[in-house]
Amino acid sequence: MTEKVTPIPEGFHTLTPHLVVKGAEQAIEFYQKALGAQLLGKHAGPDGKIIHALLQIGDSKLMLADEFPEFGSVGPQNGGTAVSIHVYVENVDKAWERAVGAGAKVKMPLMDQFWGDRYGQVTDPFGHLWSLGSRIKIMTPQEMERAQAEAFAKAAEKMKKTA
C-alpha cells in the first residue's frame, strides 16, 4: 500500500524559518545548548558541509544549512541575508505564480527536488528570500541519500562543463 503524500509534511507549520550560517555544526550545538533544540535530522554534501538540518524547538521546526557561496547562499557574517522563510503550501505551482506575478524575483526555479518536495526560491522587492514548496513524494532516508548523491553528481558534471 502506498502512503498518501500530503503537501505539508506532518508537524510543520505553514511558515518555517531557514537559517544559512557559517559553521552549521557549531550552530546546531549552540541551538541545542542555548535553546534546548532537538536535532531531527541532517544531511551533508560530498564535502561534509551541511546542506540541510532540521531542528525542533518547542512546537516549531527550524531549518539550517552551511553557506554555499558558489550557489549564492551566504549567511549574515559574509553579507548574506540572516534568514529565509520557507512556506509549505497545498499547491506550490499556484503559490509560485502568485508570488512571481506580484513581483518576486526568481532566485531558484520551481522544480521537483531530490528530497521529495516541489521547491523554488524567490526574493521579494525588499530583499528577503522566500522558499515555496509542497511535498510530492515520501522518501526513506536511504532513497533520499541516493537521490542526493545523483543530484550532486549531476551538478558537479554541469559545473565542469561550464568552467
Q: How far is CA 112 from CA 73, 79, 90, 118, 137, in A?
A: 20, 29, 15, 4, 10
Indicate whether 89 belongs to any domain: yes
Sequence letter at residue 163: A
Indicate whether 10 belongs to any domain: no
Indicate whether 143 belongs to any domain: no
Indicate whether 1 belongs to any domain: no
Per-residue pLDDT of 6-60, as tens digits, reads 999 999 999 999 999 999 999 999 999 988 999 999 999 989 999 999 999 988 9
Q: What is the pTM of this model?
A: 0.73
27: containing domain = 15-138
In whole angstroms, what is the distance from residue 28 CA to residue 150 CA? 26
Indicate whether 35 belongs to any domain: yes
In whole angstroms, what is the distance from residue 140 CA to residue 52 CA? 16
Indicate whether 109 belongs to any domain: yes
Q: How many domains does the chain have?
A: 1
CA dihedral 79, 66, 127, 85 (to 10 degrees): -150
Per-residue pLDDT of 59-93, as tens digits, reads 899 999 999 998 888 888 888 876 888 999 999 99
Indicate whether 7 belongs to any domain: no
Residue 134 sits in a domain of what CATH number?
Answer: 3.10.180.10
